[in-house]
Amino acid sequence: MTSVIDQSVEQELIGDSGLDRDFLNKTLNSIYQNKVDLADLYFQSSQHESWMLEDGIVKEGSYNIERGVGVRVISGEKTGFSYSDDISALSLTKAADAAKGIADSGQSARVQIFTPQKGISAYQAIEPLSSLSQEQKITLMHEVEAHARATDKRVQQVIVSLSGVYEKILVAASDGTYATDIRPLVRLNCSVLVEENGKRERGGSGGGARTDYSYFFELVSGKARYLSYAEEAVRQALVNLVAIASPAGVLPVVLGPGWPGVLLHEAVGHGLEGDFNRKGSSAFSGKIGQKVASEHCTIVDDGTMANRRGSLNIDDEGTPGQYNVLIEKGILKGYMQDKHNAALMGVKPTGNGRRESYAHLPMPRMTNTYMLAGEHDPQDIIKSVKKGIYAPNFSGGQVDITSGKFVFTSSEAYLIENGEITSPIKGATLIGSGPEAMKNVSMVGNDLKLDAGVGVCGKDGQSVPVGVGQPTLKIDEMTIGGTQ
């Protein structure tokens, strides 16, 4: 029965502080009474390292440790929350006392007996930080720089950053949840400055996954990932060096595969998070079963993908990671939920309850959000556009979930003229309304791709790693924020 719990995590997060399951159960019992719907304890420890190489020297290195416990009590729509960076019987009791203040006192009730739960196996329980020696990490960064400089002589400057996270969590809740997870995460990035005839531009590329540093040495199409990041950064910078002004106004837009899926993250993803829909504050509120996108669009949020940056064996409430269909052939199927919002809306949690750390409250958040492949050859999609833009890379986006208005900013884009990709154009912000933009998706490619593992999503001041993806797709009309 206990084999599904990682003993080492349990030992480190509670055992080493003199706590055990009985004590957690007693603590939950002390705050659980008939007016309380859910109480949970979230123990977390993380080790994080980061390295930065610039101008040929390793300039920065840092190592950060975090460790603590959060106590949450939910009564109806109310949430009480307290946390401590000290894991001990005393601090846990104090935090529990503070958090339970929100619930009107009622009769005491008994919490469920802990049922150790097994998550899915989207990634392995590995410690990534020591998967390379310090010397090997330094060598890796130097090699990325050397490769970037060797790729083109216009490269003037290279910045390489490498980071790794080793996180362990344990969740215990009044509904009987008892679960642990070990979450590795690594990331490598290369940023270059190129210069020609006094004109300078930057380009950047990188990737990462929930695995160890050996990921960067794996071959993709015959080339090691860390070398391809260097080449891609240089390529993007050189494209921007010759970019002309971007057009201003309404045009058809073809988005490339992979990272441009940030479109889905902003245009529909946030608007389908359970909290906004429970409160009726999203442009998608109350629209389950309705057509909210063109019939070409099937969009999922998938926490189960192997080793992906946004994947979760269990979410931060102990619910196993899931594959959730959000929109199927244009029809809205469901929202992403944590336990609190799911209970209030009378549905099941979907494995989307996430928090930045023990010091933050969980909320419904995305994992890996992407659109399924369609039937078109990407070349045919581009050929179908007389005058428009093709945008294969973006720097980020933002959405107002209530009005549905969203933006995302291209970092690499081209004009399409008479069905051909022609001049590169400068980065520009694209703006639209989520529901309208999705109804204007008229062609979807057969080339589904996920991003390289670089996404960070911010909501209410909390950052979590996420993934996005999509095939090449065409939106018939979007407003392009250029200067011409």
Partner 1 sequence: MTEQNSLTEQLEQVKNRVNKVLELAKELGADGAEVAMSRTQGLSVGTRLGEVENVEFTNDGALGITVYQGGRKGSASTADLSENALKQTVQAAVNIAKYTSVDDCSGLADKELLAMNPQDLDLHHPKVLSTEQAIELAKACENEALSFDKRITNSDGATLDSFEGFKVYGNSHGQLVGYPSSRHSLSCVAIASDGDEMQRDYAYSVNRDFDLLDNGEDIGRQAAKEVLSRLNAQKLPTGKVPVMFRADVANSIFGHFIAAISGGNLYRKSSFLMDALGSQVFPKFLTIEERPHLKKALASSAFDSEGVITQDRNIITAGVLDTYLLTSYSARKLGLTTTGHAGGIHNWLVSSNGGDFDAMLKKLGTGLLVTELMGQGVNVLTGDYSRGAAGFWVENGEIAYPVAEITIAGTLQNIFKGLVAIGSDVDLRGSIRTGSLIIEEMQVAGN
State which of residues 35, 291, 333, 426 lies at the interface with partner 1 (CB under 8 A).
Answer: 426
Q: 461-466: which pairs have CB atoms within 8 A and are 24 or more residues apart?
A: 462/355, 462/356, 462/360, 462/363, 463/356, 464/354, 464/355, 464/356, 464/365, 465/185, 465/309, 465/310, 466/265, 466/309, 466/310, 466/365, 466/366, 466/367, 466/368, 466/369
Q: Is 135 in the site for partner 1 (CB under 8 A)?
A: yes
Q: Is 83 in the site for partner 1 (CB under 8 A)?
A: yes
State which of residues 15, 26, 29, 79 lies at the interface with partner 1 (CB under 8 A).
Answer: 79
Tokens of 433: 């309304």
Instruction: Kindly state the smallest distance separating residue 279's Cβ from partner 1, in Å.
Output: 7
Instruction: Kindly state the smallest distance separating residue 23's Cβ from partner 1, in Å.
Output: 20
Single-letter amino acid code for the residue at 338: D
State which of residues 19, 31, 43, 68 lies at the interface with partner 1 (CB under 8 A).
Answer: 68
Q: Is 484 in the site for partner 1 (CB under 8 A)?
A: yes
In terms of Cα–Cα distance, which of 189, 342, 326 is closest to 264?
326
Q: Is 456 in the site for partner 1 (CB under 8 A)?
A: no
CA distance 178 to 4: 10
Neighbours of 84 (CB within 10 A): 18
Q: Which CB, 258 or 271, lies closer to partner 1? A: 271
Q: Is 423 in the site for partner 1 (CB under 8 A)?
A: no
- Which segment (28-36, 94-102, 297-305, 321-329) binds partner 1 by CB under 8 A? 94-102
State which of residues 117, 398, 442, 462 lies at the interface with partner 1 (CB under 8 A).
Answer: 398
CA distance 120 to 420: 45
Q: Is 57 in the site for partner 1 (CB under 8 A)?
A: yes
Q: Is 101 in the site for partner 1 (CB under 8 A)?
A: yes
Q: Which CB, 314 or 430, lies closer to partner 1? A: 430
CA distance 206 to 219: 15
Q: Which of residues 430-449 bind partner 1 (CB under 8 A)?
A: 430-433
Residues 244-283: x where in contact with partner 1 by CB under 8 A, - otherwise, as a string: --x-xxx----------------------------xxx-x
Q: What backbone phi and psi angles, to 5 degrees, belong to 358?
A: -60, -25
State which of residues 80, 260, 467, 469 lies at the interface with partner 1 (CB under 8 A).
Answer: 80
Decide: 73 and 31 in contact? Cβ < 8 Å: yes
